[in-house]
Amino acid sequence: MTPRAERIAGQGALHDSVLDAIGIRITSGELSAGDVLTLEAIQDRYGVSRTVARETMRLLESRGLVTSKRRVGITVQPMSSWQVYDPKVIWWRLSGPDRDAQLRSLTELRIAVEPLAAAAAARGASAAERDRAVELAAAMRERGDAGELKEFLDLDTEFHALLLRAGGNEMFAALTEVVAVVLRGRTTLGLMPHKPVAKALDLHEAVAAAVAEGRREDAEDAMRELLAEVRDAMTR
**What was the pLDDT predicted at 71?**
78
**Are 152 and 196 contacting, i.e. CB atoms less than 8 angstroms apart?**
yes
Q: Which of 79, 97, 119 is the last residue of a domain?
A: 79
Q: What is the DSSP letter of 78?
A: P
Domain termination residue (choose one: 79, 109, 124): 79
Residues 122, 227: one domain?
A: yes
Q: What does DSSP say about strands 66-69 and 73-76: parallel, antiparallel, or unpaired?
A: antiparallel
Angle (CA) 100 188 13, round 5°? 110
Type of residue at 233? A
Residue 64 sits in the same domain as residue 121 = no
CATH number at residue 224: 1.20.120.530
Q: How many domains does the structure of the chain reveal?
A: 2
Same domain, 142 and 199: yes
Q: Are residues 70 and 146 in the same domain?
A: no
**92 with 127, same domain?**
yes
Spatial contact of 226 and 203, defined as CB atoms under 8 Å apart: yes
In this structure, the answer to whether residues 114 and 220 fall within a common structural domain is: yes
Residues 148 and 68 in one domain: no
- Residues 166/126, Cβ–Cβ less than 8 Å: yes
Last residue of a domain, one of 61, 79, 97: 79
| 129 in the same domain as 75 | no
Full domain range(s) for residue 29: 3-79
How confident is the prediction along the chain (236 residues), in pLDDT tens digits per residue?
443 333 433 444 445 789 999 999 999 999 999 999 999 999 999 999 999 999 999 999 999 999 998 877 899 999 999 999 999 999 999 988 988 889 889 999 999 999 999 999 999 999 999 999 999 999 999 999 998 989 999 999 999 999 999 999 999 999 999 999 988 877 776 666 677 889 999 999 999 999 999 999 999 999 999 999 888 776 66
Whether residues 107 and 64 fall in one domain: no
User: What's 34's domain CATH number?
Assistant: 1.10.10.10
Claim to verify: residue 175 and residue 201 sit in the same structural domain: yes
C-beta of residue 189 within 8 angstroms of C-beta of residue 94: yes
